[in-house]
Structure 1
Amino acid sequence: MPHIAVIGAGITGVTTAYALLERGYAVTVIDRQRYAGMETSFANGGQLSASNAEVWNHWSTLLKGIKWMMRRDAPLLMNPAPTWHKYAWLAEFVSNILNYRSNTVETTRLAIAAREHLFGIAARENIDFDHVRRGILHIYWDKPSFQHALTVNTMLVEGGLDRHPVSAAEVKSIEPALHGDFYGGFYTPSDSTGDIHKFTFGLAKACERRGARFIFDADVERVERKGRFRIDYRSGTLGEGEPHAGTVETDGVVICAGSASRRFAAMLGDRVNVYPVKGYSITVHLDEERSRQAAPWVSLLDDRAKIVTSRLGTGRFRVAGTAEFNGMNRDIRHDRVKPLVDWTRMLFPDVDTNRVVPWAGLRPMMPNMMPRVGKGRQPGVFYNTGHGHLGWTLSAATAQMVAECIAGEFGVDAAIAA
């Protein structure tokens, strides 16, 4: 039975492990955190959103970034301090503007395919992740932004998505809790939301029941191939002593390590140009009945503020957004969190924001905004990483893709028969 190591226990790593277990492989998952789903898969916007499949490779994104550069509360913020990685990544980002349409269409198709895989997993493993299936409503404050959305919509529809324009009156009827003078919107009834951390944690437990081994508190220091793959890590602390050094030997390795994937790829002779784009969220605790009644159930995307929302059960309201190009910086900045709170108070004035939990995570983004899924240069090396802002949306499909790729190299029949 081939033994595959998965580096990373976020949403992509755990869905990859599950897809491999279904095909009969022995699986070991290694992560530097104590539990699954503790980094970028901890508190994102919650949207399972084919309707947000538009890639960012567009001239308007660059123009907005330049305009907002001096605003600390801007939806998109770039630290101008020069680093080779950042500016090389941006140059490659610009070169992919030519692929804007084709990549948007392909991402839409992938997001639609991912739904059925994810919903099927949740049903089979009985995972409760506060799933809400009331669609996603995109809201627009002016005619120019709405007209751009019409253009984008042709690409999403070409990709197979049922998404249609709605009037200002229809916006209010779809989500009566909204306050604001909107020009119009677009509604995608087939999109949904859910708690990514609850799903990832629950699926990790299901993988353990199916025989997967998880090694947590483990910083991977080296990955190399000497016949088989050797993965050296340093794990936790033993009382007051030194961290424990360990080694895993496997037949193959899948890199699902988010923003750290670039470093591991370099160890294996590959270039995976992931850049960490920081995003923020707040979780508003709806402790009072008045707040629970005033918070929306339909998931929203405000195009002007670049903010998304999701309702996580009766007691929590997630608000997320912003993109910050600032390297591997995980600091939670008040000036980046405050716009999320202010937006919540403006659009939902009866929601009490006296108990708000802020969070920041690093989205692993490739310059073309497409996930890196497939083989590396060496036999036995695979990647499932670089999903950017759509890891939650795409992961269940890309896990199947990389598992099929592994089966093609190792032989799925041999794995199942072993």
Structure 2
Amino acid sequence: MASILVIGAGITGVTTAYALLERGHTVIIVDRLRYPAMETSFANGGQLSASNAEVWNSWGTVAKGLRWMLRANAPLLFNPRPSWHKYSWMAEFCGHILNHRRHTIETTQLAIAAREHLFRTAEREGIEFDLERRGILHLYHNRAAFDQAAAGNALLREGGLERYAVTSEEIAAIEPTLHGPFSGGYFTPSDSTGDIHKFTRGLAAACERRGARIVIDAQVEDVEPGNGHVTTKIVAASIDSEAIVTDAVVVCAGVASRTIAARLGDRINIYPVKGYSVTVCLDDSQSQASAPTVSLLDEDAKIVTSRLGRNRFRIAGTAEFNGMNKDIRADRIAPLTRWCERLFPNVSTSSVIPWTGLRPMTPTMLPHVCRGRRNGVFYNTGHGHLGWTLSAATAELVAEQVEHHFRVRAS
């Protein structure tokens, strides 16, 4: 049995802590905020979506990004202001276009494995998180885009995903509340949705029941491996400072992981890709009956949706390359609300809650699940827009790496 410090109490950190506890380790979780799951794990699109596993690395994505640069309401917005990190990240992103097929298949397989871990964990710990196992319906307004998507669908199917094309008539049968003409779509019956915040908070409580210590309101000032141990210096609201000595540390700190890694001599190239969501409050019976229950992904608008219980409809989208900026911009939120009003005209948008978060995105579009250069340092970070989808599987992977490390050390 070893003692492990996990930095970060979002979905990745908490699933990692749980996987380590399952293997008999002693776990401490540290997070800079007052509660778990208060940043990127707070109000994302809600999709557990193997069907969204196709990586973005393609010349088509680059071309769209260039066309959208002058549109304030474009699904992808790139701030051209000079930044070495941003432009070097983009260059590395383009360099991985050649790996599009391999990375898509790998991500699909990881996503399929992850949901089985997540469902088992939720059942074992009795976590309620507004789970809906009704599939995800991918919509196309444009026939050319639908036809082009066949290549991506073939890669997802090669990765083991059941996903098939549907006609406009079949779209209407799958989700009758939808308004508007569609050229076609793809349906993934095995995908699902749920409230990431509820799940993460519930799993954090389960970790505490299993003996984990959660230190909140705590800034990590330094991480220093040495002499078979790792010393993590923190400053918390409840204490002036504390040096926590453990056998290992796992960095699951989202966009902050890059800074922590640099202190440890590791290069973890993560860029904060900003996303937005709105939660439409379904306060009347007509809105509740008129909002979809099947999860949607609109290809043209790059918008995803989830029905979270009877009273909430989550709509999320956009990718904004604008550094660590977390301002909620009205011109980025408005298209989400207008989209709802256009496709679901009988849903009231009189009560809408906006949110934004920073996705920790790597140039490969694959998460970093690896050992650091220094003894006892591990990483599970950089999940981008698929943190909710992949975290249960990457938690198992990094926990196995930690196990192997201590088996080797003991031999």
TM-score range, shorter chain: over 0.9
Cα distance in 2 for partners of 1:104, 1:303 equals 17
Cα distance in 1 for partners of 2:375, 2:151 equals 42
Contact 1:301 1:309 in 2 (8 A): yes
Unaligned 5+ runs, structure 2: none
The corresponding residue for 1:151 is 151
Secondary structure of the residue that 1:15 maps to in structure 2? helix
Cα distance in 2 for partners of 1:192, 1:148 equals 25
The corresponding residue for 2:320 is 324
Of 377, 381, 385 in structure 2, the residue corresponding to residue 385 of structure 1 is 381
Q: How many residues align?
A: 409
The corresponding residue for 1:61 is 61
Of 335, 338, 342 in structure 2, the residue corresponding to residue 339 of structure 1 is 335
Give the 3 Å change call, closer, same or farther, for CA 212–360 of structure 1 in structure 2: same
**Which deviates the most, 216-225 or 403-412?**
403-412
The corresponding residue for 1:287 is 283
Unaligned 5+ runs, structure 1: none
Contact 1:23 1:412 in 2 (8 A): no
The corresponding residue for 1:231 is 232
**Cα displacement string for residues 290-311 of structure 1 (whole angstroms, at most 9, x for unaligned residues):** 0000000000000000000000
Matched, 1:217 2:217: yes
Contact 2:226 2:375 in 1 (8 A): no
* Letter matched to residue 55 of structure 2: V
* Letter matched to residue 17 of structure 2: A
Cα distance in 2 for partners of 1:53, 1:357 equals 27
Matched, 1:357 2:357: no
1:73 deviates by 0.8
1:411 deviates by 2.6
Contact 2:225 2:375 in 1 (8 A): no
TM-score for the superposition, normalised by structure 1:
0.97
* Letter matched to residue 82 of structure 1: P
Cα distance in 1 for partners of 2:409, 2:90 equals 43
Trace 1:95-110 onto structure 2 (pairs within 5 A): 95-110=95-110
**Cα displacement string for residues 303-342 of structure 1 (whole angstroms, at most 9, x for unaligned residues):** 0000000000000000000000001111100000000000
**Cα displacement string for residues 27-75 of structure 1 (whole angstroms, at most 9, x for unaligned residues):** 0000001111000000000000000001000001111111111111110
Contact 2:10 2:36 in 1 (8 A): yes
Trace 1:23-38 onto structure 2 (pairs within 5 A): 23-38=23-38
Cα distance in 2 for partners of 1:412, 1:260 equals 30
* Letter matched to residue 97 of structure 1: I
Contact 2:371 2:377 in 1 (8 A): yes
Matched, 1:373 2:373: no
* Letter matched to residue 202 of structure 2: G
Trace 1:33-112 onto structure 2 (pairs within 5 A): 33-112=33-112
1:224 deviates by 1.1
1:413 deviates by 12
Matched, 1:305 2:306: no
Cα distance in 2 for partners of 1:370, 1:226 equals 30
1:412 deviates by 9.8
Secondary structure of the residue that 2:241 maps to in structure 1? strand
Secondary structure of the residue that 1:357 maps to in structure 2? strand
**Cα displacement string for residues 342-388 of structure 1 (whole angstroms, at most 9, x for unaligned residues):** 00000000000010000000000000000000211112111100000
The corresponding residue for 2:120 is 120
* Letter matched to residue 218 of structure 2: A
The corresponding residue for 2:134 is 134
* Letter matched to residue 235 of structure 1: A
Cα distance in 1 for partners of 2:43, 2:164 equals 29
Contact 1:53 1:104 in 2 (8 A): yes
* Letter matched to residue 307 of structure 2: R
Secondary structure of the residue that 1:223 maps to in structure 2? strand
Secondary structure of the residue that 1:351 maps to in structure 2? coil
Cα distance in 2 for partners of 1:411, 1:28 equals 21
Contact 1:235 1:245 in 2 (8 A): yes
**Cα displacement string for residues 179-232 of structure 1 (whole angstroms, at most 9, x for unaligned residues):** 011000000000000000000000000000000000000011111123221111
Secondary structure of the residue that 2:29 maps to in structure 1? strand
Contact 1:7 1:31 in 2 (8 A): yes
Matched, 1:268 2:269: no
